[in-house]
Amino acid sequence: MSTSLVIAVLSSLMGSGLVQPICTPRDFHNAFGNSIQGDNEFIAKAIFDDYAEQVQAINSGETENADTTPSQQLAIELQRATEADMLFDELLSSLSVINNDIEWRTSIANLRRSVLLEARKFTNPWPATVWVDVPSITTVPDSVLFQIDTFLLNNIDKDRTERFMASVLQLGGNVLKCKAYEKQSMQRWGEYLDIIAPYIDEEVAAALYPQLNTGEEVQRIANWIYKNSNDTKIHESVSKQLAIWNTIKKKQNETIIQLVINSRKQLGFDPWSRGCGQQTDTAAYKIKNELMQKSAEINEFDKATNNVLLRLLPEELRHSFESEE
């Protein structure tokens, strides 16, 4: 199969949403880059092309018909996901025998992580419980990279099966069994969090907690003022307001993050996902209400900051800003 045809086939499979995990040519290149040279390049590409043909075979045939129930469709997708995962495992296993130096093993770990974490975004009843690809965002020691790799090897298969099973139970309204899977999923998320915790910076936190209010509107207004006003005093006032806002915002978000961590690790449910349905447990209900209250407070604080920033502008500039809205 030609390289161009491989790319076309894998792109169409990704668009179908049925075959995951899937390793694309881009994933392959990003992981190995210039480390594939000489005879290794020929062998590695041959291995990958063979993998691509087998992945295409998984997705051949009719995927569903009018008589297929949602639960049956999920079962079909789980079977295909399992087959795709086996092929991906075989791809990595075949690649691993080509070389055994640290650079090559690191590339394999990078490929496994990027593909499996991307696949985890699909058919997930708890989409907010993200396993963030930290090494793609910030630098981590090789020891941590391989620790993440070991975690994935030990947990990804069970995680995939239980995500699909919980989705089926959601459809059937079996809340108790669904919650049992949710609790296990939260435990795995907590274990992953423990691995990456020392490397969580602002960018990682934004990916790890996608529901956090990042205050984009405040930043947008401040940037507009910096761009459109030449008054240094106004710039200084904006900077002071942003410093105050950032300090308070950080504390507010830390409070929310801790509530989310506690609910996942201690209570075994995700307050940011619909998951298995409405929570009736008193402690869970209390946390959800507290999160709603804290989120409302943050929104009000952002609105107040926006107003303060706009009041720093002379009337003409304020009208100019409003006219662009």
User: Of 171, 200, 229, which marks where a domain is finished?
Assistant: 200
Same domain, 174 and 248: no
Residue 186 lies in a domain: yes
Residue 205 lies in a domain: no
Evaluate whether 298 touches 216 at the Cβ level (below 8 Å): no
pLDDT in tens, 190-249: 999 999 999 999 999 999 999 999 899 999 999 999 999 999 999 999 999 999 999 999
Residue 90 resides in a domain:
yes
> Is 260 exposed, middle or buried (CB count within 10 Å of its CB: 0-12, 13-18, 19+)?
buried
208 located within any domain: no
Summarised one tens digit per residue, pLDDT across range 20-53 is 899 999 999 999 987 777 778 889 989 999 999 9
Structural domain ending residue among the three candidates 138, 169, 200: 200
Q: Are residues 65 and 41 in the same domain?
A: yes
Range of the domain at 94: 3-200
Residue 282 — pLDDT band, cuts 50, 70, 90? confident
* Shared domain check, 174 and 47: yes
For every residue of 85-140, DSSP letters joined together read HHHHHHHHHHHHTT--SHHHHHHHHHHHHHHHHHHTTSS-S-TTS----GGGTS--
**pLDDT per position as a tens digit, 289-298:** 999 999 999 9
Residues 119, 174 within the same domain = yes
Q: Does some domain include residue 47?
A: yes
> Is residue 250 a part of any domain in this protein?
yes
Asked if 160 and 24 sit in the same domain, the reply is yes
Both 150 and 84 in a single domain? yes
39 and 181 inside one domain: yes
- Alpha-carbon distances, residue 280 vs 187, 277, 290 (angstroms): 20, 9, 15
Is 195 found in the same domain as 142? yes
Is 146 found in the same domain as 100? yes
Asked if residue 238 and residue 164 are part of one domain, the reply reads no
Same-domain status, 54 and 187: yes
The pLDDT confidence band at residue 8, using thresholds 50, 70 and 90, is very low
Same domain? 115 vs 148:
yes
Average pLDDT over all residues of the chain: 89
How many structural domains comprise the chain? 2
Considering the domain boundaries, does residue 207 fall inside one?
A: no
210 within domain boundaries: no
DSSP state of 281: S
